[in-house]
Structure 1
Amino acid sequence: MCTSITLQTADCYFGRTLDLTCSFGERVVITPRNYGFRFLRQRPLDHHYAMIGMASVWNNYPLYAEAVNEKGLYMAGLNFPGNACYPESSQPGKTDVSPPELIPWILGRCETAAQAKELLGRVNPIGIPIAEELPLSPLHWHVADADGSFVAEPLEGGMRIYDNPVGVLTNNPTFEFHLTNLNRYMHLTPHAPENRFATQLNLNQFGEGMGGIGLPGDSSSTSRFVKAAFHKLNSVCGDGEQASVSQFFHVLDAVSMVRGSVVTKGGEQDITTYACCINGRTGVYYYKTYENSQITAVGLFREELDGGELREFPLVTEQRIRFEN
């Protein structure tokens, strides 16, 4: 389970929580412009836009969970079990791309979300893993830049593309349901509520925050979508980079999972293994992990981007605490 959001302040920020029961070997990975991407059904991509994101590295191949390229285009894959449909054969007029290849295939060649939307509309997410030991994960994708965002869902019948005016994506059900479901919460407000229960009664609020009574508090994907949308769309941010990054993580904190609060059918405990925030203009990737709440940053443009070798940054997972005495 995961939550992906965008947030516009002076710059545009993208990021997500990744909720799992365990680590998947993730680390921050920078792919420079001349790293050679190989694809199962498409021509190699030897020269492309550089990118930074969280990935596990298999056989020197970055399997990105999310990333931003040097042009400020963001793409994240989120769990979509039961709905994701990967055809096992080619489709007429479509481009075969295996799902784990989609993020580098799109970010390597597209500058804008508009370009990515056009390409993804012609993609056939073919159900062939890139290796036998790497089974396909059921995914849908959140794609965004400074001008807006959209969702790509591989459903039965083909890839569906939806404009995303909310700038939020979680998991099941489909994105259409999440948008419709927001209508149930149109009465919520960050302001003091008015008495609409009965005008003949003298009803008044007895504490702050009562305009938000009814905002979901559980960790289901439908509730996280509503909660993230409410906090993001009502967000008031201070000036400067630090204020924007801090505000972004506060929004993600509202939908993060505490160990023990979500137990899977197999008896395992879901946690927010990491949360990230990426400045699309500067290419700085900020993250914190479940074990370490201090923010760590890695800068895309602090590296030599014309090389051909991956640059990997293992996560700082031990809690860092600053003492003042």
Structure 2
Amino acid sequence: MQVLQTVLLVATVVAGCSEFRLNSDRSVLSARTMDFQIDLDSTVEIIPRGTLVEEPIVKDCPDCADYAWTTTYGYVGFNMFGVNVATDGLNEAGLSAAWLYLVGTEYPVVNASDPRPVVTSLITYILGNFASVNDVRRGLRDVQVAEFDPVLGSLFSHGAHESSYPLHVAVHDAAGHSLVIEFLNGTMHLYDNPNGVMTNAPPLTTHLATLKAKGVDTIPGGYDSIARFQRLSALNHYATQAYDANTSYSVSTPEQADVSLALHLIDTVTIPEPAQAHGDATQYSVVRDHTRKKLYFKSTENQVLRTIDLGHIDFNDPSTRKSLPVTFGKWFVDVTQDALASSVRSIDMPPRSMVIAKLHGLAQQTSQLHANLDTLPSYVHPDRTVASFLMGAVVGLACAVVGVVCYRAYRHRLENHSKEYVHLA
């Protein structure tokens, strides 16, 4: 028992990946980081309906029979090692599935006498066959889920020398339901996850018990699995609090606001390369829009957000099966020419003396108003309603006067010094 606890403690430090469903009453979004020590050589690939999928080889089962199936739903997946084995993705029904690392995982032993086929590429299987969390629950009864042989990685990647891939699965659907699949003590466990957050070890039930004990009022730092789970849970709890209305920094559509918020949260658990001693570095991040059927992604050194709109893909067309590396695209947006072509510019400040003189005049007017207010009948004084109204009017007038002074000074200086006419809308 003590050895197991030590292993799990170490696992919280060395294993990465974080995943959550955004707490939003407008639409359903989820996001994740892909953190791993080995290079997954990830690609984002369009998989049409009717694509034939051969299941990977099974660990410790060289005699397991071949099993192939065809996709019912088209999807966009993130494949590893350039092979059609998805680690993450979103399908046309708005269902997502994601693998995350979970030390302590113990997969079921394959039963040779069981007529059910053996599935090892679980994310691919979920994305290609199911439309909802309930579909996943029902559909997984018809197969045996096993671990794929880690030799698969070494066949396609020189840097992959893992002896095991202990993984658990996060699933979200377009209705906002979340499911976690874990393999513990040789048994598959399926949990509803209304909290919507998943990281790594320990198992989900332990994370939820810790969250219940600690609450969401404390936001921990650190990159270990427990800290990332607590941090995402706390930040996500308050995600429905909107920015102040009518501000210059929050002018967006609801879609942009939702995606931006998901990015803000997932960025709090992104692990940079220099912090790799505290966990696996983040290779890429994903935001999934289950409502609008869009997938957004960015890689560790290409932070420009890219998107694939599943609604614009004909999943009945086999020729749409195409892939891109997660690093694809320009890593910056050059706006030099846009800046040079802009007709907008700031207003120059007038001399200090002009502003001070005007403010001095306003101060004298305010002082006189105070004196006049003190002569009002005594019945007004208890709540100062009239006085409060008049003071508000004075403050508003003062702000307007300062604005006019700045504007007139600006126009005067332009006419006398630059001889340039600038029309201000």
TM-score range, shorter chain: 0.7 to 0.9
TM-score in terms of structure 2 length: 0.63
Q: Cα 1:43–1:22, aligned 2, differ >3 Å: closer, same or farther?
A: closer
User: Aligned with 2:264: secondary structure?
Assistant: helix
CA separation of 1:284 and 1:184: change in aligned 2, threshold 3 A: same
Deviates more, 1:104-113 or 1:35-44: 35-44
Q: Which residue of 2 aligns with 1:15?
A: 31
Letter in 2 for 1:143: V
Partner of residue 266, structure 2: 252
What is the root-mean-square deviation of aligned Cα atoms in Å?
2.5
C-alpha separation between the residues in 2 aligned to 1:147 and 1:91?
37
> 1:169, CA displacement in angstroms?
0.6
Match of 1:322 among 325, 329, 334: 334
Q: 1:272 aligns with which of 268, 282, 302?
A: 282
Distance 1:162 1:183, change over 3 A: same
Structure-1 separation of matches of 2:47 and 2:285 = 20
CA deviation digits over 1:272-292, x for unaligned, max 9? 111110111332110111112
**Structure with greater strand percent:** 1
Contact 1:35 1:307 in 2 (8 A): no
Gaps of 5+ in 1: 190-211
Asked if 1:89 corresponds to 2:103, the answer is: no
Partner SS, residue 293 of structure 1? strand
Q: Which runs of 5+ in 2 are unaligned?
A: 1-15, 57-64, 156-161, 244-252, 340-425
d(CA) in 2 for partners of 1:112, 1:223: 30
Amino acid at match of 2:68: P
Amino acid at match of 2:322: R
Deviation at 1:125, TM superposition (A): 2.3
- 1:177 matched residue in structure 2: 206
In the alignment, what sits opposite 2:299? 289
Cross-structure match for 1:203: none
Q: Deviations over 1:206-241 (max 9, x none)?
A: xxxxxx4xx210101111011011111210357511
Cα distance, 1:96 vs structure 2: 4.4
RCO greater where, 1 or 2, for CA within 8 Å and sep 6 or more?
A: 1
> Is 1:48 aligned to residue 72 of structure 2?
yes
- Aligned match of 2:20: 5
Secondary structure at the aligned position of 2:303 is classed as coil
2:147–2:165 Cα contact (<8 Å) kept: no
Quick one: distance in 1 between partners of 2:94 and 2:128? 12
In the alignment, the residues of structure 1 paired with residue 290 and residue 115 of structure 2 have an alpha-carbon distance, to the nearest angstrom, of 30
Structure 2 residue 154 is the aligned partner of structure 1 residue 138: no
Structure 1 residue 148 displacement after superposition: 1.1
- TM superposition shift of 1:9: 4.3
Secondary structure at 2:298's aligned position in 1?
strand
Q: Please name the residue that 1:67 is paired with.
A: 89
3-state SS, counterpart of residue 165 of structure 1: coil
Q: How many percent of aligned residue pairs carry the same amino acid? A: 25
CA distance in 2, matches of 1:167, 1:277: 14
Residue type at the aligned position of 2:270: S
Q: 1:283 to 1:311 in 2, by over 3 A?
A: farther
Measured after TM superposition, the shift of residue 37 of structure 1 is: 1.4
Normalised by the length of structure 1, the TM-score is: 0.81
Partner of 2:239: 235
Q: What's the counterpart of residue 313 of structure 2?
A: 303
The structure that has the greater radius of gyration is 2
Greater helix share, 1 or 2?
A: 2
| 2:232 maps to amino acid | A
Q: Is the 8 A contact 1:217 1:227 kept in 2?
A: yes
**Match status 1:313 vs 2:324:** yes
Number of residue-to-residue matches in the alignment: 292
Which residue pairs with 1:29 in the alignment? 45
CA contact (8 A) 2:97 2:169 kept: yes
The answer to whether the Cα contact below 8 Å between 1:120 and 1:152 also exists between their aligned partners in 2 is: no
